[in-house]
């Protein structure tokens, strides 16, 4: 009993040849489907290059456009060919020319030998896993898609809209429950022949020809009719980025792929010389006979998606400059604002620093200078104490300060005599911890030895400024 | 060749990070003072070494860009952690 491999190829023929030779060397017969869009010359050269291997067969060719039936038709042809020509095949592994075995073929064979009746195919109903990008999940099965998504997007979208408007719905053939999952599966001869020789197949095929992206649903749905033992996961490691395109593996992913313990990975960049060298010629004996463990790789790749879509909160830089209210957090960490405390308590700042261990600044927004902790001329991230520079973008001055000092709590004093541009931000930022002793600014005036008329005028100014600058004064009070 | 317009949109506006790098300019290296002097002598640059004259004049005032808050360069991962550049979608 052995494992047969169906390989779908449409480019990078030199790499495909390399991978096919690797499979054959490992004892696996291979059936190849070459996209009909590939020109005859390239095709012939490819066939010629592999002509020394009688374990490799080429199937009838179908034109494969992404998201259309051709890919399923090609898979059907190649699978049928493989099962007919090589009766000793028990499991069929579906792969593409850019898939690469990460572990020795013998380990995959042994793994499948000990699970002779198991079908490995990711297969879930649309409601179970709403992972699709672009909004078409259940509708893939109930609308018609006669227009090309790639070449004729406007017609594609328009026709979907029209069908939604008139509430058009196709009927799913009786007995079928639509399932979806990764295109890359490994199924048993029993299950595959049951699907391919089904008397109803013509009927099912006619239905799936109009389903959107049938390569992610044809086998995934039909397998539910016949298989007695489905493991709903793919043995092929493949990751998708934030736009739903497959992540491509490069040389720098070598260690990551090694540690994944997965049998096969896609997609590999054709020029990733080091990956091909390591996994195909040295026969990657680095991995031991363990279960595939895509968890580690999953974490790293979902982190990449998270970074690309949500980013690091509180970071403003050359490639992350979010629109207002799209920041996922204005600042990167909590900080404290004290209003009136320095006026009421003598030596408040050093006391606070001693008690909390936090970094305590003076009035960061004082009109004449930035009062950094210790009244230094510059601070973390080489921010300088120039008030004009600060007021040029006072909100970003604070977001930068908080970002630059990650890991250390920042506190600063604030009051009506300060530049007020950040009042609104302080009131709306959940990281701002604002404590206010209202009216404490009057104490300084009271203690000053000024003429009464001057004091009155300044008090009016400060009081006024305070009210104008924070229309939501209530929200600014201790939360 | 026409490049896609999206390449001009270098930063993300919805909160995410795009991939970005950093360019280390020779002006910020410690060897630059000597280099500027040397180039001024050679006088091989355009517009009568106009640019290098300006550099040399600036360097006369001995501008020290190093401060207590400066960080020693280690590698690109450090620059990423500091938030100066980003891997964006790269994993």
Do B86 and A305 count as a contact with CB atoms less than 8 A apart? no
Contacts of B84 in chain A (CB under 8 A): 317
Which of B18, B22, B65, B83 would best serve as a mutation to test chain A binding (most A beta carbons within 10 A)?
B83
Average pLDDT over residues A230-236: 92
Please state the φ and ψ torsions of residue A329, each to the nearest 5 degrees.
Answer: 110, 115
State residue A351's pLDDT score: 96
Q: Residue A19: its pLDDT value, please?
A: 95
Domains held by chain B: number: 1
Residue B79 lies in a domain: no
Has residue A287 got a pLDDT over 60? no
Is the pLDDT higher at A143 or at A62? A62
pLDDT at A479: 29
pLDDT band (50, 70, 90) for residue A468: very low
Per-residue pLDDT tens digits for A103-116: 999 999 999 999 99
* Residue B4 DSSP class: P
Q: How far is B5 from chain A, CA to nearest CA, in Å?
A: 16
Question: Rounded to 5 degrees, what angle do the CA atoms A294, B83, A411 make?
Answer: 115
For the beta carbon of residue A321, count every other beta carbon within 10 angstroms. Answer: 17
The answer, for A150 touching chain B at a CB cutoff of 8 Å, is: no
pLDDT value, residue B25: 86
Residue B83 has its nearest CB partner, among A315, A323, A328, at A315
The answer on pLDDT for A466 being more than 80 is no
pLDDT above 70 covers what percent of chain A? Answer: 94
Task: Name the pLDDT band for A374 (thresholds 50, 70, 90).
Answer: very high
Please indicate, yes or no, if residue B2 is contained in any of the structural domains: no
CB A303 to CB B16 under 8 A? no
The segments of chain B whose pLDDT lies below 70 read 1
Residues of B in contact with A253 (CB under 8 A): 91
The dihedrals phi and psi of A337, each to the nearest 5 degrees, come to -120, 130
**Preceding peptide of A226 cis, ω within 30°:** no
CA-CA distance, A240 to A31, in Å (whole number)?
27
Average pLDDT, rounded, for chain A: 89
DSSP state of B20: B
With respect to residue B87, please indicate whether it lies within any of the assigned structural domains.
no
B contact residues 30-89, partner A, Cβ 8 Å cutoff:
67-70, 83-89
Please write down the long-range contacts of A143-151, taking CB distance under 8 Å and 24 or more positions apart.
A143/A168, A143/A169, A143/A170, A143/A212, A144/A168, A144/A170, A144/A210, A145/A67, A145/A210, A145/A211, A145/A212, A146/A210, A148/A65, A148/A68, A149/A66, A149/A67, A150/A65, A150/A66, A150/A67
Size of interface A-B (CB pairs under 8 A): 92
Average pLDDT over residues A414-438: 92
Query: In the predicted model, what is the mean pLDDT of residues A125-132?
Result: 71
How far apart, in whole angstroms, are the C-alpha atoms of residue A351 and residue A39? 79
Interaxial angle between packed helices B32-42 and B46-60, expressed in degrees from 0 to 180 and rounded to the nearest 10: 140
Nearest CA in chain B to A251: B91
Rounded to the nearest 10 degrees, the angle between the axes of helix A189-196 and helix A70-85 is 120
Neighbours of A332 (CB within 10 A): 20
Are the Cβ atoms of B20 and A319 closer than 8 angstroms?
yes
Contact list in A for residue B10 (CB cut-off 8 A) is 318-319
Residue A203 pLDDT > 60: yes
Burial class of residue A225 in the structure, from the number of CB atoms within 10 Å of its CB (0-12 exposed, 13-18 middle, 19+ buried)? middle
Task: Give the residue, A47 or A441, on which the prediction is more confident.
Answer: A47
Contact list in A for residue B91 (CB cut-off 8 A) is 239, 247, 253, 256, 300-301, 303-304
Whether residue B91 is contained in a domain is answered as no
DSSP A231: E
Out of A158-172, A445-459, B37-51, least confident range: B37-51
Which residue from B17, B69, B90 is facing A320, i.e. has the nearest CB?
B17
Q: Look at residue A471 in the predicted model and tell me its pLDDT.
A: 40
**Bridge partners for A443 per DSSP:** none
Q: ipTM for the complex?
A: 0.85
Residue A377, pLDDT above cutoff 70 = yes
User: What pLDDT digit, counting tens, does each position of A255-284 carry?
Assistant: 889 888 889 999 999 999 999 998 987 655
Across residues A434-452, what is the average pLDDT?
86
**Which structural domain range is residue B37 located in?**
28-62
Task: Give Cβ neighbours of residue B61 (< 8 Å, ≥ 6 apart).
Answer: none
The pLDDT value recorded for residue A131 is 60
- Tell whether B51 is covered by a domain: yes
A229 Cα distance to chain centroid: 31
B44 within some domain: yes
Q: Which of B10, B14, B70 sits opposite A319 (nearest CB)?
A: B10
pLDDT at A476 > cutoff 60: no
Predicted confidence band of residue A73 (pLDDT cuts 50, 70, 90): very high
B38 located within any domain: yes
The CA distances from residue A133 to A246, A303, A474, in Å, are 12, 18, 43
* pLDDT at position A286 over 80: no
Return the pLDDT at A137.
76
Q: Do A320 and B16 touch (CB under 8 A)?
A: yes
Q: Label the pairing between strands A30-34 and A410-414.
A: unpaired
Q: List, in order, residues 6 or more apart from A276 with CB less than 8 Å away.
A: A15, A18, A100, A268
Gap between the Cα atoms of B27 and B55, Å rounded? 9
Are B14 and A326 in contact (CB < 8 Å)? yes
Taking an 8 Å cut-off on Cβ atoms, the answer to whether B69 and A379 are in contact is: yes
Note the pLDDT of residue B1.
Answer: 66
Q: Which residue of B has its CA nearest to A319?
A: B11
- pLDDT over 70 at A248, yes or no: yes
DSSP A61-91: P----TTSTHHHHHHHHHHHHHHHH-TTEEE
Q: What is the pLDDT of residues A317-352, one digit of tens each?
A: 999 999 988 888 999 999 999 999 998 999 999 999
The two beta strands, A89-96 and A2-9, are parallel
**CA–CA dist A105, A87 (Å, integer):** 19
How high is the pLDDT of residue A130? 62
Q: Given CB atoms, is A250 within the 8 Å cutoff of chain B?
A: no
Specify the 3-state DSSP secondary structure of A265: strand
Is the pLDDT at A75 greater than 90? The verdict is yes
Domain presence at residue B54: yes
Contact flag B13-A310 (C-beta cutoff 8 Å): no
Please report the pLDDT score of residue A349 as a whole number.
95
């Amino acid at each position: 009993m052995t494992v047969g491999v169906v390989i779908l190829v449409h480019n990078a023929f030199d790499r495909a040849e390399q991978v096919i030779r690797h499979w054959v060397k490992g004892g696996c017969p291979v059936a190849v489907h070459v996209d009909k869009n590939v020109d005859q010359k390239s095709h012939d050269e490819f066939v010629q290059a592999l002509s020394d291997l009688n374990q490799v067969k080429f199937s009838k060719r179908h034109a494969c456009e992404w998201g259309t039936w051709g890919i399923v038709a090609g898979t059907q042809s190649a699978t049928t060919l493989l099962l007919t020509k090589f009766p000793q095949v028990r499991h069929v592994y579906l792969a593409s020319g850019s898939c690469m075995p990460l572990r020795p073929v013998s380990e995959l064979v042994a793994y499948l030998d000990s699970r002779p009746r198991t079908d490995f195919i990711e297969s879930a109903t649309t409601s179970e896993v709403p992972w699709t990008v672009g909004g078409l999940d259940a509708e893939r099965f109930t609308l018609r898609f006669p227009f090309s998504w790639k070449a004729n997007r406007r017609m594609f979208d328009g026709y979907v809209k029209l069908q939604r408007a008139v509430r058009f719905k196709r009927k799913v053939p009786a007995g079928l429950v639509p399932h979806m999952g990764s295109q890359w599966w490994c199924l048993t001869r029993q299950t595959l022949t049951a699907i391919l020789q089904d008397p109803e197949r013509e009927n099912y095929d006619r239905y799936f020809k109009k389903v959107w992206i049938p390569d992610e649903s044809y086998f995934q749905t039909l397998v539910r009719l016949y298989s007695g033992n489905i493991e709903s996961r793919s043995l092929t490691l493949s990751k998708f980025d934030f736009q739903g395109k497959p992540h491509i593996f490069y040389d720098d992913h070598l260690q990551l792929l090694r540690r994944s313990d997965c049998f096969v990975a896609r997609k590999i960049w054709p020029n990733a010389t080091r990956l091909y060298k390591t996994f195909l010629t040295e026969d990657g004996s680095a991995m031991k006979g363990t279960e595939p463990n895509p968890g580690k790789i999953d974490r790293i790749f979902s982190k990449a998606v998270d970074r690309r879509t949500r980013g690091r909160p509180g970071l403003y830089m050359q490639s992350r400059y979010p629109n207002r209210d799209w920041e996922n957090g204005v600042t990167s960490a909590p900080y404290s604002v004290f209003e009136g405390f320095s006026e009421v308590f003598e030596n408040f700042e050093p006391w606070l620093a001693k008690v909390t261990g936090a970094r305590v600044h003076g009035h960061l927004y004082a009109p004449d200078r930035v009062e950094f902790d210790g009244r230094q001329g510059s601070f973390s991230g080489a921010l300088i104490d120039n008030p004009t520079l600060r007021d040029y973008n006072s909100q970003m001055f604070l977001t930068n300060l908080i970002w630059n000092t990650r890991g250390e709590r920042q506190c600063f004093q604030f009051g009506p005599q300060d530049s007020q541009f950040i009042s609104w931000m302080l009131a709306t930022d959940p990281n701002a911890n604002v404590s206010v002793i209202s009216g404490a600014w009057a104490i300084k005036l009271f203690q000053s030895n000024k003429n009464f008329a001057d004091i009155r005028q300044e008090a009016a100014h400060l009081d006024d400024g305070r009210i104008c600058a924070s229309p939501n004064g209530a929200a600014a009070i201790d939360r | 060749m026409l490049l896609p317009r999206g390449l001009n949109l270098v930063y993300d506006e919805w909160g995410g990070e795009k991939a970005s790098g950093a360019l280390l300019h020779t002006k910020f290296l410690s060897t630059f003072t000597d280099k500027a002097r040397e180039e001024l002598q050679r006088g091989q640059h355009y517009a009568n070494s106009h640019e290098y004259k300006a550099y040399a004049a600036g360097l006369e005032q001995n501008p020290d860009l190093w401060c207590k808050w400066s960080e020693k360069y280690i590698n690109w991962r450090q620059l990423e952690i500091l938030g100066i550049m980003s891997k964006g979608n790269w994993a």
